[in-house]
Amino acid sequence: MVRWKRWLGTLVAGAVLGAQSVGVAAAAPDERTTYRGQIDGATYRVVVPKKWNRTLVLFSHGYYPEGFTVPGDDVALSNHPQTAEWLLDHGYALAASDYKGKYGYAVEPALTDQIALLDWFGKKVGKPRRTVTSGQSMGGIVSMLLSERNPKRFAGVTAICASFDFSGYMNTALDLNFAVKTLLAPGEDIDLVRPKDPAASALALSNAIDRALKTPEGRARLALVGSLGNVPAWYSVYDAKPTELAEKIRQQAMWVQGAYTLGNGPIGRSDIVRRAGGNPSWNVGVDYGRQLARSGQKTLVALAYRRAGIAVKDDLKRLADAPRIAADPAAVPYLFRYGVARGTTPSPVMAIHNTGDGGAPAYGQRWYASQVRKNGSPSKLRQTYVDRGSHCAFTAAEEIVAIRNLIERLDTGRWPSMSPARLNKLAAAYPEPYQIPVNFLSEEQKVAKPAFTAFSPGFPMRPSR
């Protein structure tokens, strides 16, 4: 939780990051040419190796909350910096826009700014033989929508820890925060969707979670909260999945607190309300008893309530009786336009996801596959899983293996084997600097073994379709 709480403190203090300077093309000592500049107010970076193989990788970065310090304070070219180095060393050109505004739920400007950068690249650098769009977290839905809306411009998609149904995700976030407020902070002045002081409301929810972790009754209610979002009870990048009840609940609560209360709670929702012209989420008519029955975390809830000696039915009644929140009808279409993939697969899609991701739970992959079966071509989709806690916690080696699988599909017209044994063998061949997972949730950095695994994700709790 170190980074989440540090970010919240920065936000409350009103810190704002300065704008990046505009630059010009420069020849690098390693025979790469770097271009920097702005297009219609959106800062971009492009790097082209001298021996360019005529493939361009257009990267879309994830969600940056206001006050978040971007690693390296530069336009990101990949989820993992070593991945970018490998791609450049192997002849791939890289390009990325920071999008106008850079922070918040910037999908709408991203879709315009990334195409503008692609146009610029074709005029100023050269026309690629093919372009792959790659995106991390929120950037995953950017990449998917770019491909679906511009089918002739992209040869393939790499979706890294992507959230494909952000409308459903924000409804789930509302469910979790509604349950925290109702069960753990009754009577407190917390506005979930239109707060006058978003940081204060987020802090009140976060403090309620901290208090609840101190008692068996509070931990039971936290397990119920987490179950409503099917949030995994695994938070650590390096530690094994916990087995002890209190630790399971603690790690699950860290996801609820970080991703849903501090991240996509009142603060993140205020940004979306501004962009959508109203609140696009609702919980009117939601039966939380039914949600619990569908959740993959229901066994954890039953054990926690039994240990605490309280009845889950009483807390479900409290949720049922609490006043509900309605969406503004005019705002609902916004997240469908700028946050929900159709699954048309105009080009091959290679997805990689952590099994213990609670920020963008792996059930989103199940949901996306169902959309592809309805609207696209399942033969164009491959989904791989890395058995690790955290969000986007992949080593460069694991990311590169995923990208190489997509490139082989584009080169040969056939997918290579996706067996975990094969993928782990390929990943293990890279040197030690390529074996350190991205760790957004703490500052710990160390080597981890490749962890591709066979995995079947659970079911989404509030899918938009």
- 441 pLDDT tier (thresholds 50, 70, 90): confident
- pLDDT surpassing 90 at residue 316: yes
**What confidence score (pLDDT) does residue 322 get?**
97
- Position 401: which residue type? V
- pLDDT surpassing 80 at residue 69: no
CA–CA separation, 362 vs 369, rounded Å? Answer: 11
- Residue that is last in its domain, among 295, 314, 334: 334
- 21 pLDDT tier (thresholds 50, 70, 90): very low
**Domain shared by 424 and 278, yes or no:** no
SS3 call for 283: coil
Q: For residue 61, what are its two tokens?
A: 């970065």
**Domain shared by 321 and 416, yes or no:** no
> At CA 7, angle to CA 3 and CA 8, rounded to 5?
120
Q: Of 276 and 69, which is predicted with more confidence?
A: 276
CA–CA separation, 135 vs 159, rounded Å? Answer: 5
Inside any domain, residue 1: no
- pLDDT surpassing 80 at residue 239: yes
**Domain shared by 57 and 130, yes or no:** yes
- Phi/psi for 278 (5° steps) reads 155, 180
- Residue that is last in its domain, among 275, 304, 334: 334
**Domain shared by 52 and 74, yes or no:** yes
Mean pLDDT, range 228-252, rounded to an integer: 96
**Structural domain total, the chain:** 2
**What confidence score (pLDDT) does residue 115 get?**
98
Beta strand 452-453 with 381-389: parallel, antiparallel or unpaired? antiparallel
CA–CA separation, 426 vs 435, rounded Å? Answer: 12
**Domain shared by 153 and 172, yes or no:** no
Inside any domain, residue 465: no
**Domain shared by 410 and 312, yes or no:** no
Nearest CA-CA partner of 60 in 161, 147, 125, 138: 138
SS3 call for 453: strand
**Domain shared by 241 and 327, yes or no:** yes
CB-based contact 31:90 (threshold 8 Å): no
**Domain shared by 272 and 222, yes or no:** yes
Inside any domain, residue 14: no
* All residues at 6 or more sequence positions from 375 whose CB lies less than 8 Å from its CB, including other chains: 342, 343, 344
**Domain shared by 317 and 304, yes or no:** yes
**What confidence score (pLDDT) does residue 442 get?**
79
CB-based contact 463:422 (threshold 8 Å): no
- pLDDT surpassing 90 at residue 188: yes
**What confidence score (pLDDT) does residue 410 get?**
98
Residue 34: strand pairing partners: 26, 47
Mean pLDDT, range 10-30, rounded to an integer: 36
Q: What is the DSSP string of 155-173?
A: SEEEEES--SBHHHHHHHH
**What confidence score (pLDDT) does residue 20 get?**
28
CA–CA separation, 232 vs 251, rounded Å? Answer: 8
Residue 49: strand pairing partners: 32
Distance of CA 386 to the CA centre of its chain: 15
Inside any domain, residue 17: no
Inside any domain, residue 389: yes
Average pLDDT score, the chain? 92
CA–CA separation, 246 vs 304, rounded Å? Answer: 8
**What confidence score (pLDDT) does residue 370 get?**
98
List helix spans (H) across 277-355. 288-294, 298-308, 312-321, 332-339
Convert the pLDDT of each residue in 115-128 to its tens digit. 999 999 999 999 99
- Indicate which CATH number applies to the domain containing 55: 3.40.50.1820
Residue 449 domain boundaries = 22-164+342-453
Inside any domain, residue 265: yes
Inside any domain, residue 172: yes
Mean pLDDT, range 101-117, rounded to an integer: 96
SS3 call for 148: helix
**Domain shared by 95 and 137, yes or no:** yes
- Residue that is last in its domain, among 334, 354, 379: 334
Inside any domain, residue 459: no
**What confidence score (pLDDT) does residue 71 get?**
64
**What confidence score (pLDDT) does residue 1 get?**
44
**Domain shared by 251 and 326, yes or no:** yes
Mean pLDDT, range 282-306, rounded to an integer: 97
**What confidence score (pLDDT) does residue 5 get?**
52
**Domain shared by 171 and 160, yes or no:** no
Residue 340: strand pairing partners: 165
Q: Of 225 and 263, which is predicted with more confidence?
A: 225
SS3 call for 97: strand
CB-based contact 357:388 (threshold 8 Å): no
